[in-house]
Structure 1
Amino acid sequence: MPLSENLRGILLMCASMAAFTINDTFMKSVTETLPLYQAIGLRGLITVTGLTILAIATGAFRFRLSPRDRGLILLRSLAEIAATILFLEALLRMPLANLSAIMQALPLAITFGAALVFGDKIGWRRMTAILAGLVGVLIIIRPGTEGFDRWALLGVGSVLCVVVRDLSVRPIQGQVPSALVALGAATAVATMGWIGTGLQGWHAPTAWEATLVLGAGLFLIVGYLSSVAAMRHGDIGLVAPFRYTSLLWAIVLGLLVFGDLPDGWTLIGAAIVVGAGLFTLWRERNLRRRAAA
């Protein structure tokens, strides 16, 4: 029996979140011994190679981009570079689950950003949910307390960069192949990694380090492709909430691989952020249904 569009989108989103979190786990592990930018460059080499093969196989390079779409892809790529640097610098110094909890604010931040940039309407209920999500993030990072970790601010900065990255996709023509969009970002990040390697210096990777980087690159490819595909199947209002499964993956992998378990305040803050995000997505879905009716 064939899968429905909604179920296909949900499965793709769950696969995407799992792949991205496994990639993060590989990168956190390998950067304990391998310089960060060298790990980014090597992973980028794998990712760019895989996406290039896919683009050739699907004929994506035959598509002619307009100057406007080129500019938007460039903007997305620059935002991807900034988001990657901030995220991985934070990941080096923070438990995986804690950083993942901060990243759960993304759907709320994107909703707010869309209102500012594209004039999307936000009612008082969704605005309240966004403010509640902000409170949740503040509980997680706890500025001004002994539990405050300044590296958490890099995670918040990464969220803001991802908002720019995701909003820059919206005006891109629907006919532009997903592989080209993903390849542009992957190439930019890989280039940044190799430039950083030239400044940091080269460290000959061991077989184990090379295996970890290879795993990170392969799972990053899966994450890129499945996340784009997920947004093209089913009702976005139904599919998008499954982004939050990444927090479950982060808690499990953080405990199994690194022995880290988030404290009570982090879990409370994450619950507030996730709850506010789910309410926002539920509200948007209801509004779409009313508009359609």
Structure 2
Amino acid sequence: MNPVRGIILKVLSVAVFVGMASLIKATADEIPPGERVFFRSAFAVPVILVWLAFTRKLGGGLRTSNPMGHIWRAVVGTAAMGFGFAGLGLLPLPEVTAIGYAAPLLTVVFAAMFLGEEVRAFRIFTVMLGLAGVLIILSPRLTALADEQAGATEALGAMVVLTGAVFAALAQVFVRRLVHKETTSAIVFYFSVNAAILSLVTLPWGWVMPAPGTAVMLVLAGFLGGLGQVLLTSSYRYADTSVIAPFEYSSMLLALGVGYFVFDEVPTLVMLGGAALVTAAGILIIWREHWLGLERARQRRSMTPQG
């Protein structure tokens, strides 16, 4: 265990993913979402393969006893990516990031519904708090149709990004099922491969030949996606989830900076207030799970016969 190294790797992964999202957003006016998903997934595979070879997991680490589980995880994960990428072309980067924070909150709800996980009053409160923050962020967009100064595009963008968060939460439910028998290496690798294949379904909806500069950005987005996944996976080798997970919310600071300086996006007070609520809810859930884990560990030690 090396918590400092784990935190550094986590923050690096967050920065890399924000960079990837920025490149995807920069190509949104030219490239359809499905095609962007293909580049993001296909060009992540070489990075992941190099990492697996370096960690000596290229052989046994890719064995699977549940190929259909990987396919279903890829279906919902690819949908989440596609909706998220579509949203990047419709809304400011910080806003997309903030709405995306709904995914871990919705995962709590879906885990209770589909996995039978127990959800107590504290988690119900934090989920409601977080979802209230999401509604605050969405409120200006959902009333856009009634505002002469706002267009239907913003309302559509809000719903698209929220739909992506729903699929992302469902994807995490599938991952929770897979981790009981499948290696992390297999989950990471097969998702990228299957997502690249599934994205080809969108070919009839107007794929285009990207210009050289755009192609470079798309390929780089794929490389960054693979690198971010490697950094994220590696970070959990060095520290507990409760230590590392809160640093996910540093992506908001990075997204605000990139949005302002690169895309000329100025955040509203409403968006910042909603994002603060969602972030607080996420951190409270992580904090609560940390203390519950400590309590369970103490109970196990007290039940262990002393020699």
TM superposition score normalised by structure 2 = 0.85
Alpha-carbon distance change, 209 to 132 in structure 1, aligned in 2, over 3 angstroms:
same
Q: Once superposed, what is the RMSD of the aligned Cα atoms?
A: 2.2
Preserved CA contact (<8 Å) 2:33 2:82? no
The answer for the alignment partner of 1:138 in structure 2 is 135
Q: Which amino acid aligns with 2:296?
A: A
Alpha-carbon separation, structure 2, partners of 1:66 and 1:179: 10
Preserved CA contact (<8 Å) 2:34 2:200? yes
Alpha-carbon distance change, 171 to 200 in structure 1, aligned in 2, over 3 angstroms:
same
Q: Which amino acid aligns with 2:48?
A: L
Query: Alignment partner for residue 193 of structure 1, among 199, 208, 223?
Result: 199
- SS for the counterpart of 2:216 is helix
Alpha-carbon separation, structure 2, partners of 1:64 and 1:104: 30
Q: Which amino acid aligns with 2:68?
A: G
The answer for the alignment partner of 2:95 in structure 1 is 98
Query: Alignment partner for residue 178 of structure 1, among 175, 178, 184?
Result: 184
Q: How does 1:147-186 map to 2 (within 5 A)?
A: 149-173=155-179, 176-186=182-192
Q: Which runs of 5+ in 2 are unaligned?
A: 299-307
User: Which aligned runs of 4 or more in structure 1 are off by greater than 6 angstroms?
Assistant: none
Alpha-carbon separation, structure 2, partners of 1:256 and 1:144: 28
State the structure with more CA Rg: 2
Q: How does 1:229-248 map to 2 (within 5 A)?
A: 229-248=234-253
Deviates more, 1:30-39 or 1:103-112: 30-39
- SS for the counterpart of 1:291 is helix
- SS for the counterpart of 1:94 is coil
Q: Which runs of 5+ in 1 are unaligned?
A: none
Q: How does 1:1-293 map to 2 (within 5 A)?
A: 4-56=1-53, 58-63=56-61, 65-67=63-65, 69-142=66-139, 143-144=142-143, 146=147, 149-173=155-179, 176-203=182-209, 205-293=210-298
- Equivalenced residues, count: 288
Q: Could you tell me how far 1:53 is from its partner in structure 2?
A: 4.0
Alpha-carbon separation, structure 1, partners of 2:273 and 2:279: 10
Alpha-carbon separation, structure 2, partners of 1:268 and 1:64: 43
Alpha-carbon separation, structure 2, partners of 1:99 and 1:64: 33
Q: Could you tell me how far 1:174 is from its partner in structure 2?
A: 5.8
Alpha-carbon distance change, 280 to 43 in structure 1, aligned in 2, over 3 angstroms:
closer
Alpha-carbon separation, structure 1, partners of 2:203 and 2:32: 8
TM superposition score normalised by structure 1 = 0.89
Q: Deviations over 1:248-272 (max 9, x none)?
A: 1111111111010221101000001
- SS for the counterpart of 1:151 is helix
Q: Could you tell me how far 1:228 is from its partner in structure 2?
A: 2.3
Q: Deviations over 1:215-250 (max 9, x none)?
A: 211110111112223334322112111111111111
- SS for the counterpart of 2:280 is helix
Q: Which amino acid aligns with 1:151?
A: G
